[in-house]
Amino acid sequence: MKNFEKWQGCGNDFVIIDSREDKKIFDAEKIIKICDRHFGIGADGVIYVLPSEVADVRMRIFNADGTEAEMCGNGIRCFAKFLAEKNPVENLKVETGAGILTVKIDKNSVTVDMGEPILEAEKIPVAGFGNKKIIAEEIEVAGKIFKMTCVSMGNPHCVIFVDDLEKINLAELGPKFEVHEKFPRHTNTEFVQVVGENILRMRVWERGSGITLACGTGACATAVAANLNNFAGKNCTVQLDGGILKIDWREDNHIFMTGAAEKVFTGQIDF
């Protein structure tokens, strides 16, 4: 029997399990079952709280298909609120697969220093571009040509700007982008429409999870891509299906993401 809590950030939902004592991690088959919305708890991923030797605490996150992700922006906000509810703190240093991130916890929101965006193709990674920055480069998917801007926030993102987001068939295009040969570690894909001054509307296909209501690292990548394409400044609002995130690309090159996180329910997993 294992205690858990269900949390959501902008509709991106997670099962959070505190494994600091036993350090137990479920295998991929169990994670898939937990995330199943008909036969399990239902979630976009499973997050584990673990001890850390280099930070206050360690976060590991697994996608709905059982694969491990390097980082998750909405997930880390939920993770921080989960911990602060039990032991009130204003700041946390969290070890993640994308490095150590600093989190500031307020009453109604969480602000995460997401670190510096990675723009070099080989480091994202994107194949066939050497180590150049990929800004509005052409890619062919499903017989159509799109212009992609690629960014890593510790995990890879392919950002596509479109004139009308409603005309994008995300369920059809998302999986094709995810496994495209240009992305050796697969990719998250964001389709984005500029809807106002420094206001971006984004929908996302998440690597390993499919269509989700929000993606924090994707919102950060979208804000960076918008700035690189001269569509927005360095401080912007990203509108997602599940809510709103504020993204601030500061002078020290760090990306700060601010948004809410909310507990949905608690329970026990019996495997």
d(CA 30, CA 26): 6
Question: Which residue of the set 10, 72, 78, 220 is catalytic?
Answer: 72
Q: What share of the chain is helix, strand, coil (3-state, %, to 5)?
A: 20, 45, 40
Catalytic site includes residue 236: no
CB atoms within 10 A of CB 21: 7
Residue 100's beta-bridge partner residues? 95
Question: Which residue of the set 35, 78, 158, 215 is catalytic?
Answer: 215
Find the angle CA(213)-CA(70)-CA(191) to the nearest 5 degrees. 35
Token pair 């949905």: residue: 264
Token pair 């690292």: residue: 217
Q: Quick check: 159 and 148 in contact, CB under 8 A?
A: yes
Give the SS3 label for residue 81: helix
Nearest to 189 by CA among 199, 167, 212: 212
Q: Residue 242: which region, alpha, beta or left (left: phi > 0; alpha: psi -120 to 50)?
A: alpha
Catalytic site includes residue 72: yes
Beta-sheet pairing, 144-152 with 188-196: unpaired
Exposure pattern of 98-133 as b/e (b: 16+ CB <10 Å)? beebbbbbeeeebbbbbbbbbbbbeebbbeebeeee
Active site (catalytic) residues? 72, 215
